[in-house]
Structure 1
Amino acid sequence: MTKPLLALACLTVFALAACKPEPAEPAVEVPTAAETAAVDITPAGEAFSSDNAGFDMKGFAGTFSGTLPCADCPGIDITLVLNPDGSYDITEVYQDEQGPAMEMDGTWTVEANAQQIRLDPNSKSEQDRLFAITSQQQITQLDLEGKPAESGLDYSLSRQPAN
C-alpha cells in the first residue's frame, strides 16, 4: 500500500470516528401524582425537608415572635405575621428605647427547597430578609447570604397561638 493510500485510509477512519453519534441522554422521569402531593409540615424538633411545590403556604402562615439580639440595646422584640395570601407585616420594638415601633410590610415567599422564607419589603429602601424554616413552630433569621449568624446568639422566632 502506498503512503498516500495509507494516509487516506487513516483520514477516513478518523472522519468516521468523528461522525459517531452521541449516546442518547437518559430519559427524564416524570413524578407521579402521589410523589408531587402536598407535603405536611414537620413537627417541631424534626428535620424539615420538602420541595417548594409541595409547601403549604396557607398552612404555614401565622404569627411568629421573639427577641432578637441587638448591638446597642438589650434586644429587639419582633412580631412577624405571615399572611396566607403571601403578604406579611413585621413590627420591631427596640428595648430600652423611646419612640414608636418600626413597622414594615411586603410579600413573603418560600425558597431554597422550602427550607427558607424570603421577606420582600414593599419599601425598596429596605433589604430582603431571610429566615430558615426550623420547624412548623419556629423560624430563624439568617444573614443576607442565607447563612446562620456566626455569633451563636439566638435569632429564632416562635409561632404564637392563633387568636
Structure 2
Amino acid sequence: MQPSRFFVPAIICLLFSACQGREQPYGTGPDNPAADKDTGAAATPLAGVYTDTVPCNDCRGIATRLTLKPDSLYELQEVYLGRPDPTNYRRGPWRVRGQVVTLAPSGNNPVRRYQVEAARKLRLLDADGKLMQAANADYTLNYQSDGNLNEAGTTREFTGLYTAEANAAVFVECGSDKQYALAPTGLTPDLQRQYGNTRKEAGQPVFLRVSATVKTQTVQFGTGTEEALVVDKVLEMKPDPVCPQAVR
C-alpha cells in the first residue's frame, strides 16, 4: 500500500533515530517518574474530542471529528465537503510516542499521525514527517472537550477487563484504569453467564468490549453513589485479559 501525504512517520522522532523503544503516554520523559510505565494511549491529558475543518485539494474542506478515548481506541469521522459520497469513518487503537499521536490503520486507511501542539491541539503531518503547510491553510484539530466521554448519560464503546464474583461485577477501563460497577439493568445477567463460559479460572478477569451507557447509582453496600455501566450490547469477550495498548 502506497502512503499518501496524510500518513507519515513522526517528525518529532527525527525520523525515528531518537525515539527507539516503547510507545508511551504523552508527557513522559526523563523528568517524568512514570516515563517507564507503558500504558499505550495517553488517557490524560490527550483523551477527548478534536474537531475542525481542514483544507482539501479537491473539495471545499474536510470536516473532521477525532475522538481519542481513554481506553486507547479512537474514532475518526471525515466529511469531504462537496463530494457526492463525502463521509469517511475509521476506528482503531491510538498511541503516543514523543509528541506524536498515531492512529493505527483501519480497513483500507493506512496509519495517520499528528503532532501534539500547545493548548491540546493536533497538527496533521505530511508524507515527509513535516507539518502540513500551505498558504493560508490550517491543518490543526482543536481540542473541544473530554466531558462527554465518561459523564452520566454517555453512550459509547468501552473496552476493559471484566470480573464477576458472587454479587459483584467490576469493569476496569483499558488505558484510564477507571473502575465501573455493572448496573443490574441491561445485559448484566447474560454477561455474567458468558463470563462464566469464557474465563479460564474463577475470579479471573477477561477482556471485554461493550456498548454501554454511564449512569450514577447507589452503592450496593454502604452509602453514597458510584458510576456504573448499563450494558446494551456485548461486542467482544476474550479469555486473556489484555488491553489494546498492551499489544505490540
Scaled by the length of structure 2, what TM-score is found?
Answer: 0.42
Structure number with bigger Rg: 1
In structure 2, C-alpha distance between the alignment counterparts of 1:57 and 1:89, rounded to whole Å: 15
Secondary structure of the corresponding residue to residue 102 of structure 2? strand
Query: Who is 1:126 aligned against?
Result: 109
Residues 52 and 150 of structure 1: CA distance in aligned 2, closer, same or farther (over 3 Å): farther
Query: Who is 1:151 aligned against?
Result: 134
Cα deviation for residue 98 of structure 1 reads 3.1
In structure 2, C-alpha distance between the alignment counterparts of 1:160 and 1:58, rounded to whole Å: 15
Give the structure with the larger helix fraction: 1
- Say whether residues 1:98 and 2:94 are aligned partners: no
Secondary structure of the corresponding residue to residue 66 of structure 1? strand
Structure 2, unpaired ranges of 5+: 1-29, 149-248
Query: Who is 1:36 aligned against?
Result: 32
- How many percent identity over aligned positions? 30
In structure 1, C-alpha distance between the alignment counterparts of 2:36 and 2:65, rounded to whole Å: 25
Give the structure with the larger strand fraction: 2
State how many pairs are aligned: 115
Are 1:116 and 1:133, in contact at CA under 8 Å, matched by a contact in 2? yes
Scaled by the length of structure 1, what TM-score is found?
Answer: 0.62
> Considering only aligned residues, what root-mean-square deviation do their CA atoms show, in Å?
2.5
Are 2:133 and 2:139, in contact at CA under 8 Å, matched by a contact in 1? no
Query: Who is 1:76 aligned against?
Result: 62
Residues 101 and 58 of structure 1: CA distance in aligned 2, closer, same or farther (over 3 Å): same
In structure 2, C-alpha distance between the alignment counterparts of 1:75 and 1:35, rounded to whole Å: 40
Where do 4+ consecutive residues of structure 1 move more than 6 Å?
Answer: none
